[in-house]
Amino acid sequence: MTGGPILADVCTAIVDCEHKTAPVDPHGEYFAVGTPAMRGNRINFADARRVSRETFEAWTRRLSPQEGDLLFAREAPVGPVVKIPPELNVAPGQRTVLLRPDPRRLDSGYAYYLLASPSQQARLLAKAEGSTVPHLNVADVRSFELPPLPPVNVQRGIAATLGALDDKIESNRRIQSQVLDLADAHYRDACSHASTALPLKDVGRWLSGGTPSTSNAEYWGGTLPWVSAASMKTVFLRSSDRNLTPSGAEAATNIVPVGTILFVVRGMSLKSEFRLGIAQREMAFGQDCKAIIPNISPSVLVVALQASRSLILDLVDEAGHGTGRLPTDRLEKFVINVPTCSTFAPLADSLLARGAAAAEESDVLTRLRDLLLPELLSGRLPVPEAKEAVAEVGA
């Protein structure tokens, strides 16, 4: 018991999703957002189902989404929460619940950060345990007890402070995307004038990854990032959700230096995307990934691989249970085009350096947000002091 209100008492509506899969319309302008598209508490539209207006209206017939609504995942996995975007083009996908906080009692932004906080996520997961597949029924969501809530004006101050950090993180995410798009445009233009064809086996030294024993606690919880297929979510690789200790690093198959290109060769993600990245620091990696220590410009290699993603996906076969696999022999024979003009490599270096700087700043902002979040929600840190900390990092 936490002594606060239950969710149903501070929401004007809590509405379950349709219990069926939304039909895909490749040309639709709306999205059905299910739990796979809610990882990290933000909508990943690449993992959402694009749907028609007709499907959108059918999937929102019980409650038409409006700005300020939240979408909550109640199964597979339990806990992720995202904001309905201002475009209002999102319908609840399977295993989700649409929440509409009552603005008189619960600020929407505060509700988002509260439900996403580690303490409430742990309580939600505990409430979902006891079944073969952890899940929450709609009744469980309605009856979920929140901690005592501060006055709404304080809630808004907390949400605005944390939101300033998230806005800057999102801005940096857009910068990373834009520099990659710009590099791709310059790459295609340079290749149209003159380029050299190189098989991937000749662009550097190939390395395989490995996983130190997960049952040995001495190997895990250190500071050396261990990148897996699941954690490779950005081209600019600086961190991971798992880290190795010095003894874990000794047990790792390979540790690669800055500038190494890593990519996924096995995993569910290969059914729809080719994930790759460039190491911004020394790191280890799992057996579902490969690495190339390049003998050409790392920036040029990354841009060339990015430009070839759709062709590389054509090489993917199935390893069973829906898992995609990129056979090494096929990938080694894959040919990329490398521009021969002397100006492209420095340009690619400059563009990717800008993206890497944005990624590094986002790491700092994310750590600050995650540090401030529990302190603000608990009331231990007053909002004015938190705003000073945010101002110091320029967010």
Kindly report each contact of residues 34-38 with a partner whose C-beta sits within 8 Å and lies 24 or more positions away, as own/partner.
34/93, 34/94, 34/95, 34/96, 35/73, 35/75, 35/76, 35/77, 35/80, 35/93, 35/94, 35/95, 35/96, 37/93, 38/71, 38/73, 38/80, 38/81, 38/82, 38/96
pLDDT digits 0-9 by tens, 195-214: 999 999 999 999 999 999 99
d(CA 369, CA 367): 5
Q: What is the pLDDT of residue 394?
A: 78
Q: What is the mean pLDDT of residues 211-223?
A: 96
Closest CA to 311 of 336, 276, 338, 348: 336
pLDDT averaged over the chain? 96
Percent of the chain with pLDDT over 70: 99
HSE-up of residue 194 (Cα within 13 Å, Cβ side): 5
Prior bond of 382 cis (ω within 30°): no
Phi-psi region of 191 (alpha: psi -120 to 50; beta: other; left: phi over 0): alpha
pLDDT digits 0-9 by tens, 240-298: 999 999 999 999 879 999 999 999 999 988 988 999 999 999 999 999 999 999 999 99
CA 17 vs CA 38, 60, 75, 196: distances in Å: 15, 8, 12, 52
Q: Residue written as tokens 């231990």?
A: 380
Q: Identify whether the C-beta of residue 264 lies closer than 8 Å to the C-beta of residue 270.
A: yes
Q: What is the pLDDT of residue 321?
A: 76
Task: Name the DSSP class of 148.
Answer: P
Q: What is the pLDDT of residue 47?
A: 87
Is the predicted pLDDT of residue 335 greater than 70, yes or no? yes
Q: Identify whether the C-beta of residue 180 lies closer than 8 Å to the C-beta of residue 306.
A: yes
Q: What is the pLDDT of residue 282?
A: 98
pLDDT digits 0-9 by tens, 293-312: 999 999 999 999 999 999 99
Q: What is the mean pLDDT of residues 58-68?
A: 97
Q: Identify whether the C-beta of residue 344 lies closer than 8 Å to the C-beta of residue 300.
A: yes
Is the predicted pLDDT of residue 1 greater than 60, yes or no? no
Q: What is the pLDDT of residue 204?
A: 98
d(CA 225, CA 282): 8
pLDDT digits 0-9 by tens, 359-369: 999 999 999 99
Identify the H or E element spanning 125: helix 118-128
Q: What is the pLDDT of residue 252?
A: 82
pLDDT digits 0-9 by tens, 28-52: 999 999 999 999 999 999 889 999 9
Q: What is the pLDDT of residue 197?
A: 98
Q: What is the pLDDT of residue 253?
A: 79
